[in-house]
């Protein structure tokens, strides 16, 4: 089996686009002057005639993507999460979401792990924004393998999809045979005392936290939620019933993201203590990515600490 190397999910995104380019001859990729960073440049290199740069104009990027879709193309369009979901929110809402057009919005550089560029570029609000759009599917992969799977699944799926990729290299969790299904969470580890529901790069940290808890005699279940919308409510409710306490972990604001989604779901179905690990209603800051994550409490230690607090609230 080929060894899967540690790399950023954005790298996998670019590779996946180039890989599916042969299968979908109607695949068009758009960028807004960030193709080197978003890695759409990997596709451009292989299929220059099917890559279009819209320049630094994200509102038009979404509009052009929509128009190409109406002309029968399969379109992936990319920018940083701050601009794709933030600046162009209303274009995504009205041109893509409302008519349910088949546009794939692949946003990179999401969350704090942007690192040194700092608060203006660390988008911790994109999941919250996209969640409010009816019919929007939101995918947030945990590792390089799942990132490619998300691209495959999004291409096969009919309807608008928001894909969230990171800048920082992350360790592989899955092997090359891994397959994901949109809307189906993945139980990575069983446990009976508490469930850690994690997404994106926090999934790796959740597994480490579960190890730490195990050393203290606490049995933690770990669920990977790659599809934040539609949320796998059945799996979350089952975990709430069976373990009685939940911790969510995401590289996003604790408001409106995975923590928000899980809390809303359980409040209406199976109220149990839910503690949220994420960015606590603050803007980010400049520093190397790992230092920023640590400074904002996005660590295995904090997840383990919250898990114990959640258990105490049972």
Partner 1 sequence: MEQAVKKQLQVTACKIRMGIIEGVHAAKSGHPGGSLSIADVLTYLYFKEMNIDPANPKKADRDRMILSKGHTAPGLYSALANRGYFPVEDLLTLRKLDSYLEGHPDMKHTPGVDMSSGSLGQGISVATGVALGAKLDGDAYRVYSILGDGELEEGQVWEAAMFAGHKKLDTLCVIIDNNNLQIDGCLDEVCSPYPIAEKFQAFNWYTIEIDGHDFDQIEAAFAQARQNKGKPTAIIMTTTKGKGVSFMEDKASWHGAAPNDEQYEIAMSELKAALAALEA
Stretch that binds partner 1, among 93-101, 160-168, 221-229, 238-246 (CB under 8 A): 93-101
* 58 has catalytic annotation: yes
Task: Tell which positions 19-78 bind partner 1, by CB under 8 A.
Answer: 28, 52, 54-55, 57, 59-60, 62-73
* Shortest distance (Å) from residue 170 CB to partner 1: 33
Q: How far is the CB of 189 from partner 1 (least distance, A)?
A: 43
**Please, what is the minimum distance in Å from the beta carbon of residue 68 to partner 1?**
5
Binding residues among 98-127 for partner 1 as defined by CB under 8 A = 98-100
- x-or-dash pattern for partner 1, window 167-196, by CB under 8 A? ------------------------------
Minimal distance, residue 23 CB to partner 1, in Å:
18
| Residue whose CB is less far from partner 1, 42 or 66 | 66
Alpha-carbon span 106 to 81, nearest angstrom: 8
Among 3, 15, 49, 58, which one carries the catalytic annotation? 58
**Contact range with partner 1 by CB under 8 A, out of 89-97, 179-187, 214-222, 267-275:** 89-97
User: With binding defined as CB under 8 A, does residue 95 bind partner 1?
Assistant: yes
Residues involved in catalysis:
58
Report the interface residues with partner 1, using CB under 8 A.
Answer: 28, 52, 54-55, 57, 59-60, 62-73, 90-91, 94-95, 98-100
């Amino acid at each position: 089996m080929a060894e899967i190397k540690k790399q950023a999910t954005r790298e996998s995104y670019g590779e996946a686009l180039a890989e599916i380019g042969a299968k979908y001859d109607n695949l068009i990729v758009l960028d807004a002057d960030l193709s080197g960073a978003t890695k759409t440049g990997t596709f451009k290199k292989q299929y220059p005639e099917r890559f279009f740069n819209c320049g630094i104009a994200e509102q038009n990027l979404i509009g052009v993507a929509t128009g190409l879709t109406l002309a029968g193309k399969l379109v992936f369009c990319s920018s940083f999460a701050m601009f794709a979901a933030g600046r162009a929110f209303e274009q995504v809402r009205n041109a893509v979401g409302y008519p349910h057009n088949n546009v794939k919005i692949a946003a990179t550089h999401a969350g704090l792990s942007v690192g040194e560029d700092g608060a203006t570029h660390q988008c911790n609000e994109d999941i919250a924004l996209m969640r409010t759009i009816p019919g929007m599917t939101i995918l947030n992969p945990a590792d390089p393998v799942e990132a490619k799977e998300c691209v495959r699944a999004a291409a096969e799926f009919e309807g608008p999809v928001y894909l969230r990729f990171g800048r920082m290299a992350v360790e592989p969790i899955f092997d090359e045979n891994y397959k994901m299904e949109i809307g189906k969470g993945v139980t990575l580890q069983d446990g009976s005392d508490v469930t850690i529901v994690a997404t994106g790069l926090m999934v790796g940290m959740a597994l480490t936290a579960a190890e730490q808890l195990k050393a203290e005699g606490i049995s933690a279940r770990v669920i990977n939620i790659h599809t934040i919308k539609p949320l796998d409510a059945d799996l979350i409710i089952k975990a709430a019933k069976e373990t009685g306490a939940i911790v969510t972990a995401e590289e996003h604001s604790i408001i409106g993201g995975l923590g928000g989604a899980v809390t809303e779901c359980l409040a209406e179905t199976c109220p149990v203590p839910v503690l949220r690990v994420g960015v606590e209603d603050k803007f980010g800051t400049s520093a190397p990515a790992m230092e920023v994550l640590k400074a904002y409490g996005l660590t295995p230690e904090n997840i383990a600490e919250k898990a114990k607090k959640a258990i105490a609230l049972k």
